[in-house]
Structure 1
Amino acid sequence: MGLDAIKAALPEYAKDIKLNLGSTVGTSTLTVEQAWGTALACAVAGRNPVVLREIAAEAAERLKPEAVEAAKGAAAIMAMNNIYYRAKHLIGDEDYASMPARLRMQIIGKPGVDKGDFELWCLAVSAITGCGVCLESHEKTLRATGFTREQVHEALRIAAVVHAAAVTLDAEAALA
């Protein structure tokens, strides 16, 4: 169950991903809530059913229910925000910057968990979806609230490995 099941499902050519799953999520220097919340938010963003199911099951054993919901909420809100803000940025017309989003984002203000942890999860999801505007914004907020570069770096490592597992298992399923 959990990370072990994902590792077992990965093909031999993804041995690095297998090893990195254990060394990023399993032995992270982040708190348990930060690491597993990051992994769960990234599993939701990665959209692979095996990765999501297994990480969700293991995260549920390690996180309070409100943290599970907040991690899923971080992935959900960033699915919207990353598209919106990345598109505004990529269009390259500064007039869009002054236009209000008029999109509901109340979970960001009241996530039900430590706001710093929620910001960390949002940053990790933004790394997966590639929204530079959101990455910059969440990193600045995290640094201003006392998170270290090392903590941000750990979340990025977890995002990279969880996403790589999801991509690899999606590819294997498509080729089967």
Structure 2
Amino acid sequence: MKMLFLIILFTLLSFSQASIISPKPVEYVSPKSFAGLWYEIARTYNKFEENCVAATVEYKNINENRLKVFNRCFEYEIGGKLISYTGIVKPLLENNLAQLDKTYYWIFSKEYKIIYLDKSYQTAIMSDESMENLWIMHRKPFMKKENLEELLFFIKNYMDTSKLIFTKQDKNGRYK
């Protein structure tokens, strides 16, 4: 009987833990307003950005349901070799980028969601469902410390923030 109780308790705890793993996406993200250049402030580790500094992502509207995405960074140091790759973004909801699918090279596809977006479209947090891949993005290469601390406090409810890598940015926010 004790064993059955422990199994039920463990199962219930597992389900309750699963419900807080990842925050819900924001309600609405205008593709038109979200388009433009974003600077990477922090991210979790991912193989495709392993040696990147001064990373940015730029979204350009193709039509109301598709955007082109340009990821750029310097390899190892600012002013070093420019790494760039291009993909396509499709909203998973009609005319709403709160949940999206990114495809690179026609074969690599992954779903993401915007879990934080300020009203002025200046700061955003994008992640996958597992929070294994997460990016804090801002329209300028640097953000105020107190604003970053608020975002870290929000994320702390869903992941270990010590896993974040803070991106070295060019003070001029530009490429070669």
TM (norm. structure 2) is 0.33
Higher helix share: 1
Higher RCO (CA < 8 A, seq sep 6+): 1
Of structures 1 and 2, the larger Rg is shown by: 2
TM (norm. structure 1) is 0.33
Higher strand share: 2
